[in-house]
C-alpha cells in the first residue's frame, strides 16, 4: 500500500477519499485553487498545496501543477476522484511518466472507453448489445444531421468525450437539429475540450441502469450488481438506488456478464461502471451506452447494499487503492450478493423556484444528517462560499434499509433534516420527489422528473414563513430582558393615541419569487432563539432554522427580506416605460454575445448565453425591438440579477410592419 496519495480533485469526493486514506493509515495530500483555500477538503487533508486561481483550467485541470504538487509532497500515487481529469488518458500517462501510480484503469482503457464511438464498436465485437446510432468519428454538422434523419426522430446528441450528461441534447424535430448540434458542440468543447459528437436513437421512457465492476491486474473481473439511475433532470442523475426493482435475477446476471465482457474488452483494471439503457417494458432488451472509467458519484449505494462473503458493505475507494497497489481480488462472483436496499440523493446548489438554475452564496448555517442507516458525503462547511466555477453538487445523502420502503423513508427524513441556509438547494424538491407515487412504486423512467417537476415545486410561500420572518424582526426591536427601565414609546406594540394597540406591520419580500411581497400574518405567539424560530398560528406551532435573513424547514429554504417601497416604485416605473432589462438568471460567465447596441431583434431571438457550473442558459428577447444597452462581453463574470442588456420595444408602426 502507498504511504502518501495526492487527491487531484476537490469538494465532497476529495473529503470522501481522505476518509478512506485515514482509515488505511495513508497520508493524504489535497490540492486547492484560490477559490478553495478555506475548503473542507483542504482542512481535513494531512497536507494541502495551492495549484492556481479559481478557474479550473488554471488549477484542477493543470497536469503540470498537479504533478509538481505530488513531487513536492512525496506522493506515490494520485487519486483523480471524478470529473476534472478522472477520465483523461493523457493525465494517466503523465502520472506514469512521472513515476506515480494513477489510481484508475490503464491509459489505453481510458482512451478507448472515453471515445464513445470506438467504445461502442469494441463492446459490440465482444458481444455486448449497443444502441443504434451513427458510426465513425469526426462527423460534420451536416453528416450528424443526415445520420439523425436516417435513424429517425427523436434522437440523442452526445459528446464522444466525457460523460455526466454534459452536452447531451434530446432532439425531437428535424428543424431544431442545426441549433441543437451547435449548442451540444459548444457545451462539449467547454466541458471536455473536444466537440466531437455522435447521434443515437432515443428510446422513449427508458430506464438507466448501470453495473459496477471491479477488475484487478491479475485477470480477475467481477461485477457488484446494478444501480438504478433513471431519476434524472437534463440528463443529470438526481436519485440513485441499488438494487433496481426492474431486474430479476436472470436479467441481473445477464447484464452483469455483459458488463464484465465490456471491461475485459478494453483491458480494464480498478473500479468502473458500464451503463445500459433499458426499455421499461422489456428489461431483457438492454443496450450498452458507455463505460465510465472512474468511480461514480453514486458509488455509496453499492457500498451500502452489497455483501461480499456474507458480510454487508465494502469500501470501493479502498479497493481502488488496493488494486492500484497490485493486490489481487480475494473474492469471486459467487461471493457477491445484495443485502437490503440503498438510495442516494444529490444535493445541488440550484434553485427549483427559478427553474433549477444554478445558485450560489455563503453557507450561513449547515446541518447534515447522520444516524441509523443514514450517511452524508459532503464537502461543505459553515462559512464556505459556493461560487459558479465548479459543478453544483454540494453533497450526497444516502440511506440504507433492509427493504426499499425503509430506505426511501429514511432518506426522506434525512433530507428534511438537511439545512444549507444561504445557498438555495434542491433538498426539499428531492424529498417531495421521493414521496411521488410512481417513485414509491418503482415505476421509473428517465423522463419522470421532467414531467412531474412542476407539481413538486412549492407553488406559494407558506404564510408561516412570513410570520417567522416578522417574529425575527420583532424580536430585534424588543428591549433586552435585562434592561432596568423601558421607554414605553420605544416598545413596538402598535400603541396609538386614542386607540387600541394594533399589530406591528412588516411588509416582507421572498427573493426570487413573483409575486413576492406581502404583509406578515399575525402570530398567536413566537419564540426566537439562536439558529431557530417558532411561531404559533391558529393553534399550530411551526419551527424553522434561521440564519441572517434565511429560514429553512424540511429541506426548503427562503430568503426573506424587508420590502423596499422605493425599489418597488423604481421597478414599476421601468415596467411602465415598456423597456425590458434582461438580467442574469444565475451567477456565471457570459460565453456568447450575439447582438450589439442598435441591433433590431425579434421576440424570442437568442441574444446572449450565460454559463454557470457547466450549464448554459440562453437569454432571449422578450419582444421585438432595439437593443439600447449591452453591458457585457464574452468572458464577463456576472452576478445573479445583474443587468446584461436592455431591449426597447418597437413602436406601433414598426410592430405593424
In three state form, how does the secondary structure of 300-352 look? HHHHHHEEECCEECCCHHHHHHHHHCCCCCCCCHHHEEECCEEEEEEEECEEH
Which pLDDT value is given to residue 578?
46
Domains of the chain: 4-103 (3.40.50.20), 132-201 (3.30.1490.20), 206-456 (3.30.470.20), 463-480+504-563 (no CATH), 578-656 (2.40.50.100)
C-alpha gyration radius of the chain: 27
Statement: residue 585 has pLDDT above 50 = yes
Angle (nearest 5°) at CA 268 between 93 and 220:
135
Distance from C-alpha of 260 to C-alpha of 258, rounded to nearest angstrom: 5
Of 532, 147, 169, nearest in space to 365 by CA: 532
In this predicted structure, what is the pLDDT of residue 89? 96
Question: What is the pLDDT, as a whole number, of residue 52?
Answer: 96
CA distance 114 to 112: 5
State yes or no: pLDDT of 58 exceeds 90: yes
Q: Mean pLDDT in the chain?
A: 89
pLDDT tens per residue across span 15-33: 999 999 999 999 999 999 9
Find the mean pLDDT for residues 23-47: 97
pLDDT at 438: 97
Cβ atoms < 10 Å from Cβ of 325: 14
**Winning range, highest mean pLDDT, from 180-184, 472-476, 509-513, 611-615:** 180-184
Residue 508, CA distances (Å) to 464, 465, 504 in order:
12, 10, 13
pTM score: 0.82
Q: Is the model's pLDDT at 495 over the cut of 60?
A: no
Residue tagged 426511501 (cell numbers):
408
pLDDT in tens, 93-121: 999 999 999 999 999 999 999 988 899 99
Length of the chain: 657
Angle at 443 between CA 439 and CA 444, to 5 degrees: 75
Nearest to 520 by CA among 567, 447, 470, 563: 470
pLDDT at position 502: 54
- Banded model confidence at residue 484, pLDDT cuts 50, 70, 90: low
Whole-number Å distance between alpha carbons of 551 and 547: 7
> Alpha-carbon distance 523 to 571, whole Å?
31
DSSP secondary structure code for residue 133 in this structure: B
Q: What is the pLDDT confidence band of residue 200, given thresholds at 50, 70 and 90? A: confident
Amino acid at each position: 500500500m502507498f504511504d502518501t496519495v495526492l487527491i487531484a480533485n476537490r469538494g465532497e469526493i476529495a473529503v470522501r477519499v481522505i476518509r478512506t486514506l485515514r482509515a488505511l493509515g495513508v497520508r493524504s495530500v489535497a490540492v486547492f485553487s484560490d477559490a478553495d483555500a478555506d475548503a473542507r477538503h483542504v482542512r481535513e487533508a494531512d497536507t494541502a498545496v495551492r495549484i492556481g486561481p479559481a478557474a479550473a483550467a488554471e488549477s484542477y485541470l493543470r497536469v503540470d501543477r498537479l504533478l509538481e504538487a505530488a513531487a513536492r509532497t512525496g506522493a506515490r500515487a494520485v487519486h483523480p476522484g471524478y470529473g476534472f481529469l478522472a477520465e483523461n488518458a493523457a493525465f494517466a500517462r503523465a502520472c506514469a511518466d512521472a513515476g506515480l501510480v494513477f489510481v484508475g484503469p490503464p491509459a489505453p482503457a481510458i482512451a478507448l472507453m472515453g471515445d464513445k464511438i470506438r467504445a461502442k464498436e469494441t463492446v459490440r465485437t465482444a458481444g455486448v448489445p449497443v444502441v443504434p446510432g451513427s458510426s465513425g468519428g469526426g462527423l460534420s454538422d451536416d453528416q450528424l444531421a443526415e445520420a439523425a434523419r436516417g435513424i429517425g426522430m427523436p434522437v440523442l446528441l452526445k459528446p464522444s468525450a466525457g460523460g455526466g450528461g454534459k452536452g447531451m441534447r434530446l432532439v425531437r424535430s428535424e428543424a431544431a437539429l442545426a441549433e441543437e448540434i451547435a449548442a451540444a458542440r459548444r457545451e462539449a468543447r467547454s466541458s471536455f475540450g473536444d466537440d466531437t459528437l455522435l447521434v443515437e436513437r432515443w428510446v422513449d421512457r427508458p430506464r438507466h441502469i448501470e453495473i459496477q465492476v471491479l477488475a484487478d491486474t491479475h485477470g480477475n473481473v467481477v461485477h457488484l450488481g446494478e444501480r438504478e439511475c433513471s431519476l434524472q433532470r437534463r440528463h443529470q442523475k438526481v436519485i440513485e438506488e441499488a438494487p433496481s426493482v426492474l431486474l430479476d435475477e436472470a436479467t441481473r446476471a445477464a447484464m452483469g456478464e455483459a458488463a464484465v465482457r465490456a471491461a475485459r474488452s478494453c483491458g480494464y483494471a480498478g473500479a468502473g461502471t458500464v451503463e445500459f439503457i433499458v426499455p421499461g417494458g422489456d428489461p431483457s432488451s438492454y443496450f450498452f451506452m458507455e463505460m465510465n472509467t472512474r468511480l461514480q458519484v453514486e458509488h455509496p449505494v453499492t457500498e451500502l447494499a452489497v455483501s461480499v462473503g456474507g458480510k454487508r458493505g465494502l469500501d470501493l475507494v479502498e479497493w481502488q487503492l488496493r488494486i492500484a497497489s497490485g493486490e489481487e481480488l480475494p473474492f469471486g462472483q459467487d461471493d457477491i450478493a445484495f443485502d437490503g436496499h440503498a438510495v442516494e440523493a444529490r444535493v445541488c446548489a440550484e434553485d427549483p423556484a427559478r427553474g433549477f438554475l444554478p445558485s450560489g452564496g455563503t453557507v450561513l448555517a449547515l446541518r447534515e444528517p447522520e444516524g441509523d442507516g443514514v450517511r452524508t458525503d459532503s464537502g461543505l462547511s459553515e462559512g464556505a462560499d459556493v461560487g459558479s466555477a465548479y459543478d453544483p453538487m454540494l453533497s450526497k445523502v444516502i440511506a440504507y434499509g433492509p427493504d426499499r420502503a425503509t430506505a426511501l423513508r429514511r432518506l426522506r427524513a434525512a433530507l428534511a433534516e438537511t439545512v444549507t441556509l444561504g445557498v438555495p438547494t434542491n433538498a426539499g424538491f428531492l424529498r417531495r420527489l421521493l414521496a411521488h407515487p410512481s417513485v414509491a412504486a418503482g415505476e421509473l423512467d428517465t423522463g419522470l422528473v421532467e414531467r412531474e417537476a412542476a407539481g413538486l415545486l412549492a407553488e406559494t410561500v407558506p404564510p408561516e414563513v412570513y410570520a417567522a420572518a416578522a417574529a425575527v424582526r420583532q424580536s430585534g426591536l424588543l428591549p433586552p430582558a435585562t434592561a432596568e427601565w423601558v421607554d414605553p414609546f420605544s416598545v413596538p406594540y402598535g400603541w396609538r393615541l386614542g386607540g387600541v394597540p394594533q399589530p406591528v406591520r412588516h411588509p416582507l419580500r421572498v427573493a426570487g419569487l413573483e409575486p413576492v411581497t406581502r404583509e406578515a400574518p399575525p402570530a398567536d405567539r413566537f419564540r426566537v432563539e439562536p439558529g431557530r424560530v417558532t411561531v404559533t398560528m391558529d393553534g399550530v406551532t411551526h419551527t424553522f432554522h434561521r440564519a441572517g435573513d434565511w429560514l429553512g424547514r424540511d429541506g426548503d429554504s427562503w430568503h426573506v427580506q424587508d420590502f423596499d417601497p422605493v425599489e418597488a416604485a423604481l421597478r414599476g416605473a421601468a415596467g411602465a416605460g415598456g423597456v425590458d432589462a434582461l438580467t442574469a438568471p444565475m451567477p456565471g460567465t457570459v460565453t456568447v454575445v450575439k447582438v450589439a447596441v442598435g441591433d433590431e431583434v425579434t421576440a424570442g431571438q437568442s441574444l446572449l448565453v450565460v454559463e454557470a457550473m457547466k450549464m448554459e442558459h440562453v437569454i432571449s428577447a422578450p419582444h421585438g425591438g432595439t437593443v439600447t444597452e449591452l453591458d457585457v462581453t464574452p468572458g464577463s463574470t456576472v452576478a445573479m440579477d445583474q443587468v446584461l442588456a436592455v431591449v426597447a420595444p418597437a413602436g406601433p408602426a414598426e410592430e405593424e410592419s
